Amino acid sequence: MSTFREIFENFFAKKGFFILAKIFEKKNIYQWAVLFIQKQLSCTNVKIYTLMNLKDYIHSIQDWPSKGVNYKDITPLLSNPQAFQLSIKGMVDLIESKTAMVAGIDARGFIFASAIAQKLGLGMLLLRKSGKLPPPKITFKYELEYGSDELEIKQVQKKDTEIILVDDIVATGGTISAACDLCIKAGYSVKQAIVLIDLVKIHAENFVLSNGIKIDSLIKLD
C-alpha cells in the first residue's frame, strides 16, 4: 500500500516533476493531486488511503506503561477528523467478504469496530475484559508474556454466525489469538481479522490465528 509521499516520489520524480510534487505536498493539494496521478497512471481502481501519512499521527512513547515498552499512542490520529476517517475507510477496504457482525476487542478495538460496523450497517459484538459483561457469558483465559488475562463474550444466538475480528494493534498476537479462540468457542465463525497497526517485528513473520487466517493491517510499523 503506497503512501501519498511514495506515490509522488515513484511517479513524479521519474517523470521529472519532483519539484512540482513538492509544491503539491507543501500546499496540501491532496485530492487534486491524487486524481491527477490516477488519471496519468490509468489506475482509478487503486485504493489510495493516505492523502496524509497516517503514521505521522501515531506517536511512540518509550518505557510506558513500563520500562522496555514502546507504546503506540493513537490519540493524535483519533483527534484528527481526516486521519480518523481515513483509517476507518482503509480498514473497511481491507474487508474481503460479507459478514453478520463486527467483533471489537476491549478496549481500543471498540473504537474501530463500532465505526466499521456503523459504516457497513452491521451489528457489533463485544469481547470484554474479565468482569465487564453480565451473565450468561463465556470466558477464555490466556497466557501473556508476564502473567495471564481473560476475555469474555456473549454466547452466539445463531451457530456459525460470521464475524470480522477488529482491534487497534497486534504486537505479540496473544490477545487477538485469544479473541479468535474465544469467538470460535462461543459458536461464531471468524472470517477475517483486521487491525489498524501491525508491529511486524514483535510477532512471528508467518503468524496466523488458530483457524488459519492471517491478520490484515492498514499500517505496518517496526
Active site residues: 108, 143
Q: Which residues, in sequence order, are CB contacts of 93 under 8 Å at separation 6+?
A: 47, 49
Quick check: bond before 134 cis, omega within 30?
Answer: no
**How many CB atoms are located within 10 Å of the residue 205 CB?**
6
Q: Of all helices (H) and strands (E), which one includes residue 41? A: helix 30-41
For 103, half-sphere exposure in the C-beta direction (CA atoms, 13 angstrom radius) is 30
Residues 6+ apart with CB under 8 A from 3: 50, 53, 55
